[in-house]
Every structure is written in C-alpha cells, then in structure tokens.
C-alpha cells in the first residue's frame, strides 16, 4: 500500500489498528485461543524502532465475543464482509488444519505493526517499486509461541504446499520461507526463537532480522515500557504505541506543505503515545499517556483545575470542550502548527481573518484577557425560539454555540466587546441592542437577514460569555436547574480520571450528528453507517509533569443484537497463519 494511503488511514481511523489492520487478520483464529502467554515487551524487541504504529492484541475469545456486541446491524454486515474477504485471502488460500497446525502454539496476544514504505530496489540498473498492497493488513505480524519445533513444522509444510510459488532463502544465518497466495500477494515467514514472524515484503523481514540481531527496536524507545506500566489495566484488549516522530516524518513526506529541515526537527518534540484499550459493557475505553522526547525543548505548563463552568450548561447540551487556559491553548497550537505536519495549519490564519472582518488583533485584543478557564459548548435552541413564520430568509438553526471565558482583566474584555459592537453595527448593519435578561445586562446583535443572533454579557464578575447561532441565551440565563454534569449520559460517557484535569470533551453523537436536525454538512453513506454505531464520546486530559500528558477516552457504542449471526470456525475448517 502506498505510504500516503496507509498514513491517511492511520490518522483518520485509529481504531482500525484493532479491527481492520490487525484484529481481522486473526479473527478466525481467536475463537480457538490457546493457553500460552505472550510477553509484549519481548515481542516489541523484534519491531524496528521506526514503526509507525504497533499494536498488541488479545486473543481472548471472550473479549472478541464482547467486541462483536458493539455496533449496528449495518456495521456488522460491513465487518462480516471484511471477515469473509480476509478469510478467503489468509485462510482458504493455504491448506492448514487449525487443531494440528495452529492451536498447539498460538499465544494470548499477537503483535502487528505498520512500517514506513519500503524503499525502491535497484535491479539490473532499473528502479523496481515495491509491490502495491491490496489490503489494509499490517506490514508485520509477530506471534509468541510455546513450542518452536511445531512452528518450524508449520513453515516446512508451507514450503512443501507452495513449492511452485514459494522458496526458501537465508539472510544473516536465518532461514526465511517466501510464498504467495492466490492473489499473488507475497509473504515472508521465519522463526526467531519463540516467535513466528510474518511480513508482506522481503525487505521488511530483513529489517526484522536486523533488529533481532541488535538494531534499535521499539522496545528500546526511551520510556516505552515505563509509560505502558503506568497505565493500570488488568486485561487490556489491545496495547498500542504511536511513534510520533515517525508519523510526523511520514506526514511531511505526503503533505502539500513545505517544511524546512529545521522546522521538521523542531516539530518532532513528542516521543510517542501509548494506549491500553479495554472493553466495557457500554463501549471502549482508551487510557493513554503522551510524552516528549528526552532532549525536547518544549515543556508543558502544569495547570490542572477541574472546570467550574459546567454549572452554567443545561443538561441537554449537545457538545462541550473545556480547558484551563484559552490563551495558552492557542499559543501551544500556533507554536506547533508551522513545525508539526500532524497539526492542521488553517487556524493560523485566524488573526488575519479577525483583522479583516472585525478589526481585532488576536494577540492584542483577545489573548491578554483569556488566560482563565474556558468552555465552548453547543446547545439546542428552545423550540419556541427557532425560526418563526415571519423569518424565512434563512434555514432554521437548531442549536447555538456559547463561549465562556474567565477573564483575568474585565476592563480589557469590556473594551473589546464595545469595539465589536461598533464594528457590527457600522460595518455589517446588525441591530445592536443593550437589554436585560433575568435582571442581568446583555447585548443582542440581530442580523438584518434574520436567522443568526449573537448575545454577549457576563455570567459572573469575571466570567464573560458570547452566544452565536440560534438564540440560546435563555438556556444559560438564569442559571439552569438541571446541569450537564448531572445528566446520566454525560456521567456515563466522560471519564472522571485523570483528576484534577486540564480539560474535557463531550459529544452526544446521537443527537448531534445522527439525528440530522442541525443542518450540519452531510456525511457520505459509509461515514453515516459507522457514525450511527456511536452513541457518545467523552475525553478527559491532564498534565502529569512538564513532559507528560495523560488522557482517557471513552466511546459509548450501540449494542448489536444480531451477534449470533457471525459464523465461528469449526475445528475441521482450514485456517491460515
């Protein structure tokens, strides 16, 4: 697979490492899990250090049965289609018998990895491009085994069965068996002590052997094992490592943006992210740690404070993003946007846009008074305030956005709002009307075209707010009786750890995206299918120290009540490694 396509998949579908990239390939094996443990650290010692993503996946049949309970009938059909395709490619393409060939040595985990693209070869003076992959299978699979002699017999059987298309060669004293399946996809396999190694390219196999003989491995990455040990999960379904320098390099290679060597070097401050995934009755929980490289010049500011702004958000809030310091968040983003290919750069033009449209300077007019905690929320409009019959110039807005910021200098904030009022009234001919709501002074902007309204004011002496979109100010003034943090969905979705935290995120996917009531951009049919399997998403983040961030993500998934339809392999079925 070209690196650009693989990299795009890794960023946009991180969960595919579990389900598509790694897990599906072993799906038919995992129902018959054996009794032998696998050592994740030992396995990682065979993975080249520049691997993009590495995942160790449990073979516990009970956990895979639980995974099958998530989703909708539509997502189940889509996954079953992938299972069938991979069964044809990896299982029926080879003539193995599961009880005889695989069950005796399959361990409790398998490790899969994606690596950077294989370099073109030069043969007879010509450049030979690497074989284009036809699936999203991983580049490398490592399986811990109990009895090396049994696995050696398996490799010997592969050689005899594939005599016409397979061959044996030796690299640095290690015998390698290479063979092709019915689709002419090449594979390489070998035994390295108590591990069976399968790759999709001869060069990758050679790199694994080089790593086995002393080249740097993923396990040698600074703090790799220490960070994994800090995440306390008794029986994780998966353990994932994201190699941030390697991912940044891959992103820069495939980006349309130009990066100088100095910028690329400056952008590779983060060492990696480690994650342990656990399966729960209502969804999947991802506990993660991100850390900086030892020589990094970047330092995190230790500012953890649980938000006090949630008391102003009603229980039916659709989405909220909160944090401890809005100005610092922006400064951290802009510092990394020019040097980190993984960050979108579009928002760096915000200052120019503010100057052109509102005459405001972000650095001078906004950041100085936004150094306190903040909250950005999406709230549904009250039914009676949505578009009325005398306003049909624009489609009705079903929700509005509210930004709340604790200001460190109220006088500067008030001067900024006054400047905004003048620009909006004079340049855009909005109606700007000071008024009162429940005894509190507010300012309303009303568009001459209708549809969009803006209100700003103060909820507390140092807490400024601004609403935009549908009229939602009456949902926060007076202070709501039922608040978001008391809502059952929020409590079940947003993790309580780590605490104290530096920020949280909540999204009610069902009412925000799946309902189709908010005039949001339309998703493609495949996107709609996968999103409909999600009920809600919650995230909590905290700064542990100047080099380390901890975060916990929970994805609340719908339950699929047709799990029994998925066929399980019988002992008589032929299975492929």
What one-character-per-residue DSSP string does 157-172 give? HHHHHTTTT-EEEEET
Task: Determine, yes or no, domain membership for 280.
Answer: no
Report the C-alpha gap between 396 and 392 in whole angstroms: 8
Length of the chain: 577
Tens digits of residue pLDDT in 340-385: 777 776 666 787 888 889 888 888 899 999 999 999 999 998 876 6
Looking at the fold, whether 249 and 378 belong to one and the same domain comes out as: no
Report the C-alpha gap between 389 and 315 in whole angstroms: 29
Average pLDDT score over residue span 401-410: 94
Tens digits of residue pLDDT in 292-318: 998 888 888 888 887 889 899 999 999
Looking at the fold, whether 256 and 382 belong to one and the same domain comes out as: no
Q: How many other CB atoms sit within 10 Å of the CB of residue 230?
A: 15
Tens digits of residue pLDDT in 510-535: 999 988 878 788 889 989 999 999 99
CA angle 405, 411, 416 (to 5 degrees): 70
Alpha helices in 375-460 (DSSP H): 410-427
As a dihedral over the C-alpha atoms of residue 276, residue 205, residue 130, residue 242, rounded to 10 degrees, the angle is: 20
**Domain count of the fold of the chain:** 2
Task: Determine, yes or no, domain membership for 351.
Answer: yes
CA separation (Å) from 458 to 238, 381, 439, 569?
Answer: 46, 20, 12, 63
pLDDT surpasses 80 at 255:
no
CA angle 378, 380, 381 (to 5 degrees): 125
Range of the domain at 61: 3-262
The count of C-alpha atoms lying within 13 angstroms of the C-alpha of 30, restricted to the half-sphere facing its C-beta, is 25
Report the C-alpha gap between 107 and 38 in whole angstroms: 6
Average pLDDT score over residue span 318-336: 88
pLDDT surpasses 80 at 400:
yes
Report the C-alpha gap between 124 and 292 in whole angstroms: 44
Tens digits of residue pLDDT in 74-100: 988 888 787 666 556 555 555 555 556
What pTM was estimated for this model as a whole? 0.84
Mean pLDDT taken over the chain: 80
What one-character-per-residue DSSP string does 14-35 give? TTHIIIIIIIGGGHHHHTT--S
pLDDT surpasses 70 at 14:
no
Task: Determine, yes or no, domain membership for 271.
Answer: no
How confident is the model at residue 3, as a pLDDT? 46
pLDDT surpasses 60 at 188:
yes
CA separation (Å) from 388 to 86, 515, 531?
Answer: 54, 22, 32
Looking at the fold, whether 132 and 34 belong to one and the same domain comes out as: yes
Name the residue with higher pLDDT: 205 or 256. 205
Looking at the fold, whether 225 and 84 belong to one and the same domain comes out as: yes
Looking at the fold, whether 406 and 333 belong to one and the same domain comes out as: yes
Name the residue among 32, 550, 5, 529 with its Cα closest to residue 291: 550
How confident is the model at residue 384, as a pLDDT? 64
Looking at the fold, whether 354 and 409 belong to one and the same domain comes out as: yes
Report the C-alpha gap between 214 and 166 in whole angstroms: 28
How confident is the model at residue 6, as a pLDDT? 40
Name the residue with higher pLDDT: 367 or 334. 367
Task: Determine, yes or no, domain membership for 555.
Answer: no
Looking at the fold, whether 85 and 189 belong to one and the same domain comes out as: yes
Task: Determine, yes or no, domain membership for 490.
Answer: yes
Which of 134-148, 253-267, 415-429 is least confident? Answer: 253-267
How confident is the model at residue 11, as a pLDDT? 34
Which of 239-248, 519-528, 555-564 is least confident? Answer: 555-564
Q: Is the N-terminal amide bond of 500 cis, ω within 30° of 0? A: yes
How confident is the model at residue 568, as a pLDDT? 42
Residue that is last in its domain, among 262, 291, 315: 262
Looking at the fold, whether 450 and 396 belong to one and the same domain comes out as: yes
Name the residue among 106, 108, 114 with its Cα closest to residue 140: 114
Task: Determine, yes or no, domain membership for 559.
Answer: no
Name the residue with higher pLDDT: 198 or 390. 198
How confident is the model at residue 501, as a pLDDT? 93
Looking at the fold, whether 190 and 337 belong to one and the same domain comes out as: no
C-alpha of 271 from chain center = 17
Give percent above pLDDT 90 in the chain: 46
Name the residue with higher pLDDT: 170 or 259. 170
How confident is the model at residue 132, as a pLDDT? 43
Name the residue with higher pLDDT: 91 or 207. 207
Over 459-494, what HEC string results?
A: EECCEEEEEEECCCHHHCCCCCCCEHHHCHHHHHHC
Looking at the fold, whether 317 and 191 belong to one and the same domain comes out as: no
As a dihedral over the C-alpha atoms of residue 471, residue 472, residue 476, residue 480, rounded to 10 degrees, the angle is: 130
Looking at the fold, whether 453 and 361 belong to one and the same domain comes out as: yes
CA angle 175, 35, 89 (to 5 degrees): 55
141 touches 110 (CB < 8 A): yes
Report the C-alpha gap between 248 and 240 in whole angstroms: 17
What one-character-per-residue DSSP string does 77-136 give? HHHHHHHHHHIIIIITTS--BIIIIITTT-BSEEEEEE-PPPPPEEETTEEEPPPPPSS-
What is the pLDDT confidence band of residue 282, given thresholds at 50, 70 and 90? very high
Task: Determine, yes or no, domain membership for 276.
Answer: no
Name the residue with higher pLDDT: 449 or 21. 449
Which of 82-96, 113-127, 167-181, 458-472 is least confident? Answer: 82-96
- State both tokens at 178: 């290479």
Looking at the fold, whether 222 and 143 belong to one and the same domain comes out as: yes
Residue that is last in its domain, among 205, 229, 262: 262
Give percent above pLDDT 70 in the chain: 74
How confident is the model at residue 213, as a pLDDT? 96
Task: Determine, yes or no, domain membership for 298.
Answer: no
How confident is the model at residue 565, as a pLDDT? 41
């Amino acid at each position: 697979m070209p690196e650009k396509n693989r990299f795009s998949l890794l960023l946009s579908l991180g969960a595919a490492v579990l389900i598509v990239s790694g897990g599906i390939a072993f799906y038919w094996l995992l129902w018959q899990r054996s009794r032998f443990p696998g050592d994740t650290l030992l396995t990682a010692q065979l993975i080249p250090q520049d691997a993009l993503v590495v995942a160790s996946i449990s073979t516990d049949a009970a956990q895979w049965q639980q995974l099958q309970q998530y989703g909708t009938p539509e997502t189940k059909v889509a996954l079953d289609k992938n299972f069938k395709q991979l069964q044809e490619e990896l299982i029926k393409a080879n003539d193995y018998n599961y009880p005889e060939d695989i069950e005796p040595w399959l361990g409790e985990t398998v490790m899969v990895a994606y690596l950077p693209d294989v370099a073109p070869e030069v043969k007879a003076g010509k450049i030979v491009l690497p074989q284009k992959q036809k699936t999203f299978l991983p580049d490398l699979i490592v399986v811990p085994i109990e009895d090396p002699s049994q696995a050696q017999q398996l490799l010997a059987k592969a050689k005899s069965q594939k005599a016409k298309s397979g061959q044996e060669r030796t690299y640095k004293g290690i015998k390698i068996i290479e063979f092709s399946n019915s689709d002419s996809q090449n594979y390489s396999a070998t035994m390295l002590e108590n591990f069976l190694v399968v790759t999709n390219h001869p060069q990758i196999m050679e790199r694994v052997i080089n790593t086995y003989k002393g080249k740097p491995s993923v396990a040698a990455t600074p703090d790799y094992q220490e960070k994994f040990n800090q995440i306390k999960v008794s029986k994780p379904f998966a353990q994932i490592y994201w190699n941030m320098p390697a991912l940044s390099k891959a992103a820069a290679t495939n980006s349309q943006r130009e990066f100088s060597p100095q910028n690329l070097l400056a952008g590779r401050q983060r060492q990696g992210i480690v994650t342990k995934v656990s399966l729960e009755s209502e969804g999947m929980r991802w506990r993660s740690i991100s850390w900086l490289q030892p020589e990094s010049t970047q330092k995190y500011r230790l500012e953890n404070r649980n938000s006090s702004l949630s008391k102003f958000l009603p229980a039916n809030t659709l989405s909220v993003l909160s944090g401890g310091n809005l100005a610092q968040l922006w400064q951290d983003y802009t510092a990394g946007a020019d040097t980190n290919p993984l960050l979108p750069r579009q928002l760096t033009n915000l200052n120019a846009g503010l100057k052109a449209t509102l005459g405001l300077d972000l650095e001078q007019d906004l950041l100085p008074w936004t150094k306190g905690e903040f909250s950005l929320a999406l709230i549904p409009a009250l039914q009676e305030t949505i578009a009325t019959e005398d306003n049909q110039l624009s489609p009705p807005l079903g929700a509005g956005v509210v930004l709340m910021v604790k200001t460190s200098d109220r006088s500067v904030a008030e001067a900024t709002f006054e400047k905004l009022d003048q620009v909006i009234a004079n340049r855009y001919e909005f109606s700007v009307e000071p008024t009162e709501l429940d005894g509190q002074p507010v300012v309303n902007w009303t568009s001459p075209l209708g549809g969009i309204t803006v209100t700003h004011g103060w909820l507390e002496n140092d807490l400024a707010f601004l609403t935009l979109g549908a009229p939602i100010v009456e949902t926060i003034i007076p202070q709501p009786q039922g608040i978001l943090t008391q809502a059952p969905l929020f409590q079940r979705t947003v993790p309580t750890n780590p605490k104290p935290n530096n920020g949280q995120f909540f999204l009610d996917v069902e009412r925000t995206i799946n309902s189709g009531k908010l005039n949001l951009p339309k998703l493609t049919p495949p996107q709609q299918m996968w999103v409909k399997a999600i009920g809600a998403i919650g995230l909590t983040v905290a700064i542990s120290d100047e080099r380390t961030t901890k975060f916990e993500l929970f994805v609340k998934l719908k339950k699929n009540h047709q799990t029994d339809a998925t066929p399980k392999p019988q002992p008589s079925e032929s299975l492929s490694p």
